[in-house]
């Protein structure tokens, strides 16, 4: 089988992980949720009572943390299953500070690149096409209007039993987008060779089919060249 790397980047709550999970299942690729790694580290800092805006204090903890992504989207941090906790608003509201620290990014990116070494992968995040996997075969930049994204995340949280209001989620999404796209190191931006996918008026299945069509065209091209 042709080894493939797919990068999906885009702003908060654009539906990247929903699409990436489905594409991974259909194509048999390994799905790597890089946001879950930043979230798990943020959860750990909060557990330790660290102020997430104190860069030195957060960076000092990075060597103490072992983050594992398991099948079925289970996230383990130092042996504890934190899959649910990392989605809580208290983590979402702090994660973009943590993700702006270069030393933390370097440590997590090293892990992410190792995961992509052997298997065909689909990885979603903010800097996958621009920094983590600059040679990815397929790069998608998935967007939707901020209002659509806030409603999607609100409904997702409610269905998971995570208490929140739409106003709170809307503010969180806008704040994270601002911090993520203005940070100095590996900010959120579309790679020049990425395909822009505006999903505001598309169903999940339509987006998944679009991504699969792009991947299949790439595989055909790769196999012809081989």
The residue ranges that bind ligand CDP (CB under 6 A) are 12-13, 17, 34-35, 38-39, 95-96, 99, 125-128, 176, 180
Counts of helices then strands in the chain (DSSP H, E): 8, 8
146 vs 219, which CB is nearer to ligand CDP?
Answer: 146
- What is the enclosing helix (H) or strand (E) of 124? strand 121-125
126 vs 139, which CB is nearer to ligand CDP?
Answer: 126
Phi, psi of 199 (to 5 degrees): -100, 10
As measured in angstroms, the least distance from the Cβ of 96 to ligand CDP is: 4
34 vs 210, which CB is nearer to ligand CDP?
Answer: 34
As measured in angstroms, the least distance from the Cβ of 29 to ligand CDP is: 17
Taking Cα atoms as reference points, which of 74, 16, 83, 103 lies closest to residue 43?
83
6 vs 12, which CB is nearer to ligand CDP?
Answer: 12
* 127 three-class SS: coil
In angstroms, the Cα distances linking 193 to 7, 169, 213 are 11, 31, 17
As measured in angstroms, the least distance from the Cβ of 216 to ligand CDP is: 25
In angstroms, the Cα distances linking 182 to 21, 42, 126, 179, 201 are 28, 19, 12, 5, 27
Residues 6+ apart with CB under 8 A from 72: none
> Which residues does residue 9 pair with via DSSP β-bridges, in sequence order?
125, 141
Cα–Cα distance between 206 and 179 in angstroms, integer? Answer: 30
88 vs 180, which CB is nearer to ligand CDP?
Answer: 180
As measured in angstroms, the least distance from the Cβ of 115 to ligand CDP is: 13
130 vs 210, which CB is nearer to ligand CDP?
Answer: 130
As measured in angstroms, the least distance from the Cβ of 17 to ligand CDP is: 6
As measured in angstroms, the least distance from the Cβ of 165 to ligand CDP is: 16
């Amino acid at each position: 089988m042709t080894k493939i790397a797919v990068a999906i980047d885009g702003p908060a709550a654009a539906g990247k992980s929903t699409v990436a999970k489905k594409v991974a299942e259909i194509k048999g690729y390994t799905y790597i949720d890089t946001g879950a790694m930043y979230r798990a580290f943020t959860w750990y800092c909060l557990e330790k009572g660290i102020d997430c805006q104190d860069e030195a204090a957060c960076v000092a903890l990075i060597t103490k943390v072992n983050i594992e992504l398991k099948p079925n989207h289970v996230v383990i941090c130092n042996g504890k299953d934190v899959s649910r906790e990392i989605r809580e608003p208290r983590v979402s509201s702090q994660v973009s500070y943590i993700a702006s620290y270069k030393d933390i990014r370097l440590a997590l990116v090293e892990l992410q690149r190792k995961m992509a070494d052997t298997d065909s992968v689909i990885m979603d995040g903010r800097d996958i096409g621009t920094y983590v996997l600059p040679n990815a075969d397929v790069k998608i930049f998935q967007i939707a209007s901020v209002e659509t994204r806030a409603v999607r995340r609100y409904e997702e949280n409610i269905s998971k039993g995570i208490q929140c209001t739409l106003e709170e989620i809307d503010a969180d999404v806008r704040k994270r987008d601002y911090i993520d796209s203005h940070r100095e190191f590996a900010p959120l931006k579309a790679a020049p060779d990425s395909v822009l996918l505006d999903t505001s008026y598309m169903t999940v299945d339509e987006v998944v089919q679009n991504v699969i069509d792009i991947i299949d065209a790439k595989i055909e091209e790769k196999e012809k060249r081989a």
